[in-house]
Structure 1
């Protein structure tokens, strides 16, 4: 019985709902009839399509957010995490990094670097430099070369394949441009209809036109916003692709970031100052991406408008009228192009001068304390003024050029072209007297708006020429950046000596073919490096400063030869500039080995300590374990207690009391993201302090003294526990007592170390001495009785006192011997 009542109530509810819908439909039909609105008209349909598509996009977006959130909650639980998965996902063959976003971490996937891809791309740049020389060329060829460069960047970096996400964005942008032009045609017709109804005093039709106008406004605004969104999205994608491409090359294990300073191009066109590479990889990439993405809009929109409006106007004013308009546009446009300044050259010069001004101000910030000590304010101020005046002079030249060109451009584009529009749009009315007044007005309004739209499209197309010139200039800089990165990334990089900058073209299996084809190749890199050697051996090695002269460059040392085995420590002494640090650069393969044989341990068994104590932006823990992360430290079986022990070993245990813990970061505003992971069946909190940069007011260089920084580097040596340690002036800021303690500790831990220093007191801790006297004079010898070793400073002082006390006895004995030798026998 109850079930029957429920069924009857449901049926009643459905019938009531049906009646309500019917009444609303009748009411709407009554309103539509009153206003003479057709529900199937284009304005109504476009409005409904816009509303439905917007709702669908919002629904899909929120649904994806829910799915991602659920996936993260289910599959990315801390208990299931592993240290390795935070950095490398084997299933997707990509790297994962944590990015801070709204007080939480977002996992961003970055594709692995594909060395085969970059080797293939390198061939493209080689071919380009070979086929497109730097000789004098005409302006037309310059433009074609710009298109070639742009095509190379496009094909290799921006859209490397047809089915690429950026291709979808470009296609969507093109469809939006076509839809926008079509909407403009509809609005133009509606505008003429509204004016005609107003003049004809048709109130209902006029009101209907206003309603249609408001309905058109929504899809038009929707399309305009969509075009802007797609343009910004495309620019961001271009920038992302370029930055990742450049960074993969720049931060490659082949140390491109270091070798860039030695890369020299024989072609002036592709020369690049590595001091300004920060500007190339930040501002220039940003400008290039934005300019290129906007160029599709700045050129595509007026081009589509011209085509559509010309086709539509052809039916109104005839083919002769359209031909006359296009001829006027062509001749005036050619005249403007002929008198246009070289915006490409102006932009490139301005960018170069801005880079000089920026870097010099950065130099003042980095060396403000030293400048203050020397009271160099006046001379630095004069330099800044000179640099700024050069930039100001160029800005003045640019403004004047734009002013004179702007006068001509404004006159032609803003006034001459609309005048042509009024003339040609009025011709059909003047020549056709049979049209009624309202039809003539409508025809004139429609033709006038289309002509003005054509004039506006043509003017925007002419304005884009300046943008095209700027794009040409920034394309040259981006292409130069990529070319130099590939040259330095070359497996056989020749440090400036090469054909078109690529040193691999100098590598031949036959020495005869090398000398015949490329005589300069005799000055190339011909040394041999042997790794996995149980010690260190130099055989007939010249120490030469890398340059475009190759082996004929500045020679610091000639045919250096010595050998030590594992467990034997070496001290290198010599005056400043003799080449001590250069030996370290040869061992680490930062400098090329032009000749001779270098035998050394495996790179994984050597730890280098440079002359400058490098402390990067991170926590106190990060300074000790650099270049590892906390997760990698835990994977190796180390704990914070081990790090605290290393600090105590070098006499820096008090830093824990000063800063509180190993998690201390100099910048209080720096981002310290934490995550709990299971490591060795134990839950550990991981601090990622490498993401935040803080306010930059404090850093480790300002918080620690010179001696403390050097001790912290020694703690880093103890943490890594490499078999071989090469130290360049490691203790010149540390007191003698702590210096002895540090070297005693390193000997006790059985490190094999090679020390570069000025302090002869360190001889006692080494087994061999390499004394550098001049370029052709050095002395390698074993530390024996003549170079006594002592356990500590006190014993050495006692030895010297005993030697001084016996000095008088030695002098008396010398006199006796001289007397005996000079006297006669009895």
Structure 2
């Protein structure tokens, strides 16, 4: 007690000083209320914008790792380093990329799911989005930029109209409470008048958003078409690389969804942020910035909780699109191979494959729906009910608390203030909720962005000759692996020459380790060998479709080769288009060609009647079904004569025509100066070729001159000997029968014992 009595004066002094400081602070606050409110308002708006940006902006560490990876790639690509140094640099690059991916996934990977890299709103997403934005918005004066400016103008107009409508709503309710008929009718008239610009603004916002999405899609689709349909990239994606299995799905569907999502994200992010700033600024003037900041802190805390509980919808969207593509690809594969499946009666197995792809998609979609149930409950509970109750508290503050600078007034004034503030707060809460929802939409955009970026990255990689293909087991041997790591040279030349060139399939199967031969203009080469020995691989290297893994290939440019397969390709279009493909009619006219000249070519091949039969040059059909196999092969020959290339690659292209038509084709092609490289086992073609390249199927080959007469004579002799050898078993059987008969006769005539022989002699005597 004595101690307490000695401390009491000190405690009283502290209380007095605290009260004095509090009183002076309160007086200072009242005197500088306007300035404090301004500072708090500016700070609040800065906080809202900054927190939103930090929520969407990724960490910088990943960007640094990505920059390091790019620098390593540039160093590895430079020609100033040895192979060993390049290898070490590339290994370091792969390690850096792996570390970056692991950092990006850092503890967020779902246990047991491991279906690949997780798609998130991170540095990788923003880097991909930046690249795509350069494509869809090429410049500040582009059509897309003008549409965005117009769209932004109407977004601001809608916010201004909403602010006016909130104030007008309070005035109408106030006049109703005060029973002022004239002011009420005036308010209703203004309400109807403001409806005209409001409805026009809302309609224009939807229209411009759709136009922006369409413009984005057009820009991106045009860019993808330019890349996909040049340098045979469409072939490389499907045959030399395994990363993109369904390019059609990506081009036709995913690009459209990316464009729509990107257009919506701009509206769903910029407009809510603007609304939050303007609505809350007006609210701070009505109810005080202090209360608004306190409520906002609570809202931000609950928003952080909601964001932490939000599932990775971006990953789910990307996975859904992948499964959609696989399901569609299964149907496309069935259509492409429908004849073979029908002949094998394999529809039951194909049905299982298609249904497995479909139910994988349905299982994933159902899983997303189940996840959305719990997420939707948490989201609505926080956004609608928790934030709604906080909003009621904010709107009631001017009624129960005297706020400097805010007039209290009578019942009508308080009602007007409450209704106005309530409407402003609902709009602000809705805007803030849309900011929260926009993170989910941004996550879905990240999924579409990843899909489209993967397509562009893969196309760029295959154009540079960097393929990723599942290799056969033999590719893992040290010798074959060394072949696959190498790269050869392609030199433009009027002749065709292979110098120590390995023949390798895209899956890493080394068919021939080193091949060397040379064909000059005017010479014809016959290529023979068993299936899978490398004949088609040789043609694909000549056509520039497959990479050269070593040695040197000297050949004309790819446009001077023409390919005639066993099953000719028929395009969509007229009968004339089938002959001049891939030229258009205008290109044909530019070359000085006429329909009469095309008809002369058909006469040479004895197929000119087809023009009249099909209804003229401009007739359009599904030519794949309208023409017979022989007609299609002769149309392909006419196509060869029209283009007159330097070299023609003929792959069993005369299998459905007569020997007479075959002779006409080869004679006329020789007359036109076309050098032919033919794959065929028909002996009738030997006389048209000067050289033969024969594969044995074991990795060996023979290249030599072809003496057709001698080879035909040997072939005839071989057939005669084979015919005679077929009779050998019969002759052997007859010989065995005669030998057995002779043996039996001798045994019968031979005496069986001396007594028997003596008795036989006595009987004869």
Q: Structure 1, residues 413-452: CA drift from partner, whole Å, max 9, x if none?
A: 2222122112210121123595211111111110111111
Distance 1:522 1:615, change over 3 A: closer
1:135 is matched with 101
Distance 1:608 1:236, change over 3 A: same
Distance 1:138 1:604, change over 3 A: closer
1:539 is matched with 499
Distance 1:368 1:594 in 2: 35
1:409 is matched with 379
Q: Structure 1, residues 769-811: CA drift from partner, whole Å, max 9, x if none?
A: 2111134422222222653579xxxxx99x989999xx9xxxx
Match of residue 441, structure 1, among 408, 415, 420: 415
Distance 1:248 1:785 in 2: 47
Distance 1:494 1:452 in 2: 55
2:235 is matched with 258
Distance 1:174 1:702 in 2: 53
Deviation at 1:521, TM superposition (A): 8.8
Match of residue 665, structure 1, among 601, 604, 620: 620
Distance 1:715 1:530, change over 3 A: same
The reply on whether 1:582 has 2:537 as its aligned counterpart is yes
Q: Which runs of 5+ in 2 are unaligned?
A: 1-68, 76-92, 109-119, 470-480, 725-765
Distance 1:473 1:658, change over 3 A: same
Pair member with larger Rg: 2
1:760 is matched with 683
Distance 2:295 2:567 in 1: 70
Contact 2:650 2:676 in 1 (8 A): yes
Distance 2:496 2:240 in 1: 29
Contact 1:525 1:592 in 2 (8 A): no
What are the residue-to-residue correspondences of 1:194-273 with 2, within 5 Å?
A: 194-252=172-230, 254-261=231-238, 273=243
The reply on whether 1:733 has 2:656 as its aligned counterpart is yes
Distance 2:226 2:601 in 1: 34
Residue aligned with 2:101, SS: coil
2:401 is matched with 431
1:148 is matched with 126
1:275 is matched with 245
Distance 1:489 1:305, change over 3 A: same
Match of residue 169, structure 2, among 173, 191, 205: 191
The reply on whether 1:470 has 2:473 as its aligned counterpart is no
Distance 1:542 1:714 in 2: 31
Deviation at 1:123, TM superposition (A): 8.2
1:103 is matched with none
Residue aligned with 1:770, SS: strand
What are the residue-to-residue correspondences of 1:546-695 with 2, within 5 Å?
A: 546=506, 553-666=508-621
Match of residue 744, structure 1, among 649, 657, 667: 667
| TM-score, scaled relative to structure 2 | 0.74
Distance 1:543 1:183, change over 3 A: same
Higher helix share: 2
1:305 is matched with 275
Deviation at 1:358, TM superposition (A): 0.8
Stretch deviating more after TM superposition (162-171 or 318-327) = 162-171
Deviation at 1:385, TM superposition (A): 2.0
2:30 is matched with none
Deviation at 1:225, TM superposition (A): 1.8
2:635 is matched with 712
Contact 2:687 2:709 in 1 (8 A): no
What are the residue-to-residue correspondences of 1:443-458 with 2, within 5 Å?
A: 443-458=417-432
Distance 1:127 1:802 in 2: 63
Deviation at 1:158, TM superposition (A): 2.4
Deviation at 1:708, TM superposition (A): 1.8
Distance 1:640 1:478, change over 3 A: same
Aligned residues: 610
Distance 1:776 1:186 in 2: 83
Distance 2:517 2:342 in 1: 45
Residue aligned with 1:774, SS: coil
The reply on whether 1:701 has 2:624 as its aligned counterpart is yes
Distance 1:665 1:788, change over 3 A: same
Stretch deviating more after TM superposition (219-228 or 593-602) = 593-602
Distance 1:176 1:126, change over 3 A: farther
2:295 is matched with 325
Distance 2:72 2:462 in 1: 12
1:108 is matched with none
1:480 is matched with 454
Residue aligned with 2:678, SS: strand
1:170 is matched with 148
Distance 2:306 2:287 in 1: 27
Distance 1:661 1:406 in 2: 64
Residue aligned with 2:432, SS: helix
What are the residue-to-residue correspondences of 1:488-527 with 2, within 5 Å?
A: 488-490=462-464, 493-496=465-468, 523-527=484-488
Q: Structure 1, residues 326-356: CA drift from partner, whole Å, max 9, x if none?
A: 1222111111111111112211111111111
Distance 1:782 1:340, change over 3 A: same
Deviation at 1:145, TM superposition (A): 1.8
Distance 1:768 1:296 in 2: 66
1:33 is matched with none
Distance 2:505 2:130 in 1: 34
Distance 1:466 1:243 in 2: 25
Contact 1:570 1:754 in 2 (8 A): yes
Distance 1:335 1:601, change over 3 A: closer
Deviation at 1:494, TM superposition (A): 4.0
Distance 1:371 1:567, change over 3 A: same
Q: Structure 1, residues 602-634: CA drift from partner, whole Å, max 9, x if none?
A: 544332223441111111111110111101101
Residue aligned with 2:289, SS: helix
Q: Structure 1, residues 546-573: CA drift from partner, whole Å, max 9, x if none?
A: 35xxxxx321113222223222211111
Distance 1:801 1:284, change over 3 A: closer
Contact 2:175 2:183 in 1 (8 A): yes
Deviation at 1:495, TM superposition (A): 3.5
Deviation at 1:247, TM superposition (A): 1.7
Residue aligned with 1:136, SS: helix
Distance 2:262 2:71 in 1: 22
Residue aligned with 1:135, SS: helix
Deviation at 1:125, TM superposition (A): 12
Stretch deviating more after TM superposition (422-431 or 284-293) = 422-431
Distance 1:388 1:496, change over 3 A: closer
1:682 is matched with none
1:86 is matched with none
The reply on whether 1:388 has 2:358 as its aligned counterpart is yes
1:530 is matched with 491
Distance 2:356 2:484 in 1: 40
1:811 is matched with none
Distance 1:530 1:399, change over 3 A: same
Residue aligned with 2:503, SS: strand
